[in-house]
Structure 1
Amino acid sequence: MKTKTTTNPSTYSKVWRIVLCVAIPLAVGGIAAALTGSAMKSFQQMNQPQLSPPAWLFQVVWTILYVLMGLASYMIWSAEHSVFRNHSNVRNWLIVYGLSLVFNFCWSPVFFNLNWFWFAFVWLLALWGMIIYLVIKASSISMAAMWMMVVYLLG
């Protein structure tokens, strides 16, 4: 006699949340890369310092960073359902995270397509400020998420 095994519906929900959380920053990065593709090629043709990493390494590193960002957002989002978490901290973290994705998305076209280097620098400072906020706030919600955001900050 066969026994029927069932999968907990919450397992599916968890998997879909993880997929969604990772897909969002990957999509942001992918669309930004597609918008700046030709400008990136001309940038790479400029004189680069000898210690500049190869162009393919940027794609690998940013893919890893986007996955880590997505996993961190999943951990924070999941923490919202814990009775031990402050829901306003989670909500604020997710709002600033969403805003940081917008800033991250806009930086590439501003720098590579428009060549607004000084504006891109100021934009980057604002983005770093948001990421530092995310790191600090994540430390009270999820230490694993905090360390993933530290890697993003250092990247």
Structure 2
Amino acid sequence: MSTSSSKSRSGLALVGFIVVTFCAPLLSVGSMPDAWYAALQKPSWNPPAWLFGPAWTLLYTLMAVAAWLVWKRVGCARPLALYFVQLALNAAWTPIFFGAHQLGWALFEIVLLWIAILATLLSFRRVNRAAGWLFVPYLAWVTFAMTLNYTLWKLNPS
């Protein structure tokens, strides 16, 4: 394969990872914050609504680049299987929390997501150190989100 063909394929793969990664939140578009969420008791450290869009845009971009870096080294291997598992868990949280209003089940699900993110981060790090580091902000954000989910669950017993 020629160098330009290889670069083209690599560029297309990066675009593919970005598209697939950004499709995850689109699966839960109908389950976004509404009057129910607005009425919940929240801790004083609850982030403002405007922060979530930019934060997730950055995180999804970092995730996609990390997956692409791993793909460039090992192709479609176990680390990418873990990536897609955590991406599915990521997509599942919003409908459980915002759609079904199940704070306890959402907490259980986000714990599974956290474990999957950590497993992906460690797996990525073995393949490409930079890819592992690109997952650190995502793990930190989900750690915060898990703490917030727990706090909301405690403040708003059903």
Tell me the CA shift for residue 23 of structure 1. 1.2
The ranges of structure 1 where at least 4 consecutive aligned residues each deviate by more than 2 angstroms after the TM superposition are 44-53
* Correspondence for 1:71: 65
Match runs of 1:3-152 below 5 Å: 8-32=4-28, 34-37=29-32, 40-42=33-35, 43-80=37-74, 91-152=77-138
1:84-122 per-position Cα deviation (integer Å, ceiling 9, x unaligned): xxxxxx611111111111111111000111011111111
Tell me the TM-score normalised to structure 1 length: 0.82
Q: 3-state DSSP class of the match of 1:36?
A: coil
1:31-74 per-position Cα deviation (integer Å, ceiling 9, x unaligned): 32x1213xx02213544333332211101101110111100100
Alpha-carbon separation, structure 2, partners of 1:45 and 1:119 = 19
For 1:153, the aligned partner's letter is L
Count of residues in correspondence between the two structures = 138
Give unmatched runs, 5+ long, in structure 2. Answer: 142-158
Query: Is contact 1:96–1:134 with CA below 8 Å preserved after alignment?
Result: yes
Alpha-carbon separation, structure 1, partners of 2:69 and 2:78 = 14
Query: Is contact 1:76–1:142 with CA below 8 Å preserved after alignment?
Result: yes
Q: Identity across aligned pairs (percent)?
A: 26
Give unmatched runs, 5+ long, in structure 1. Answer: 1-6, 82-89
Instruction: Give the structure with higher Rg (CA).
Output: 1
For 1:129, the aligned partner's letter is I
